[in-house]
Amino acid sequence: MSALTGVILAGGQGRRMGGQDKGLLLLNGIPLYQHVLQRLEPQVDIVMISANRNIDRYQLSGCQVIQDAITDYPGPLGGILSALKVIPGDWAVFCSCDTPAIPLDYVHQLLQQKGDAPAVWVCSRERDHPTLALIHRCVADALEIYLQQGQRRLIQFLTEQGGHAIQLNDDESAFRNINTPEDLLKVL
């Protein structure tokens, strides 16, 4: 397999967080995206960060920062498309910047169980987590058309491409994501 790139999705608007850049919020004194970076880095060959503001702060991590080609906050699929266009290998594995306790083997589990699918994503016992996804760059052209049509639904797109969910049985706390100030207080 060619180089596997991990991509931290940190390009959202954070409306439920009052418009703050969620990836830079401090959890135990460390920016949220750094928690993800620490857990993702050992699982992949390269890490890139998908961000649309505070680029210089994300660059301090030493990772390449990719900005969305579509500029009006197209949602996670916009970050996924921009990343698929620049990764050096065939596959990228994605993770939201707001999920600081991702399993240390989720990439391994996705790789082991993907079969021939061009895209797989995590589901836990409770729900789907489509921003924890392993995606082949062959879907990039179809994704560009999907976004040009104004469509934004991640699971729908991945399913149309022949993708499927893979269930991981880790404790639900591994998949907890932080969307609101209350969520942040709960994990502090």
- The CB-of-116 to ligand GTP minimum distance in angstroms stands at 27
Distance CA 178, CA 182 (A): 8
Q: Which of 15, 85, 108, 127 binds ligand GTP (CB under 6 A)?
A: 15
Number of residues forming the site for ligand GTP (CB under 6 A):
24
* Nearest-angstrom CA–CA distance, 141 and 149: 13
Could you say whether residue 68 binds ligand GTP (CB under 6 A)?
yes
Residue selected from 6, 78, 100, 103 as contacting ligand GTP according to rule CB under 6 A:
78
Give DSSP secondary structure letters for 115-162: TT-SEEEEE-SS-EEEEEEEEEGGGHHHHHHHHHTT---HHHHHHHTT
Q: Please select the residue that binds ligand GTP; options are 24, 32, 44, 75, rule is CB under 6 A.
A: 75
Taking the least distance from each CB to ligand GTP, the nearer of 12 and 31 is 12
Binding flag, residue 34, ligand GTP (CB under 6 A):
no
153 CB-near residues (< 8 Å, 6+ apart): none
Smaller CB separation from ligand GTP, 22 or 136: 22
The CB-of-183 to ligand GTP minimum distance in angstroms stands at 10
Q: Which two tokens stand for residue 50?
A: 């998908």
129 Cβ partners below 8 Å, 6+ apart?
99, 121, 122, 123, 175
**11 lies in the binding site for ligand GTP (CB under 6 A):** yes
Three-class SS state of 60: coil
Nearer to ligand GTP, 11 or 103 (CB): 11
Q: How many CB atoms lie within 10 A of CB 19?
A: 9
DSSP code of 177?
Answer: -
**Contacting ligand GTP (CB under 6 A), which of 97, 117, 135, 168?**
97
Interactions with ligand GTP, residue window 126-165 (CB under 6 A): 131
Query: Where on the chain is the footprint of ligand GTP (CB under 6 A)?
Result: 9-17, 22, 50, 52, 68, 73-76, 78-79, 96-98, 131, 179
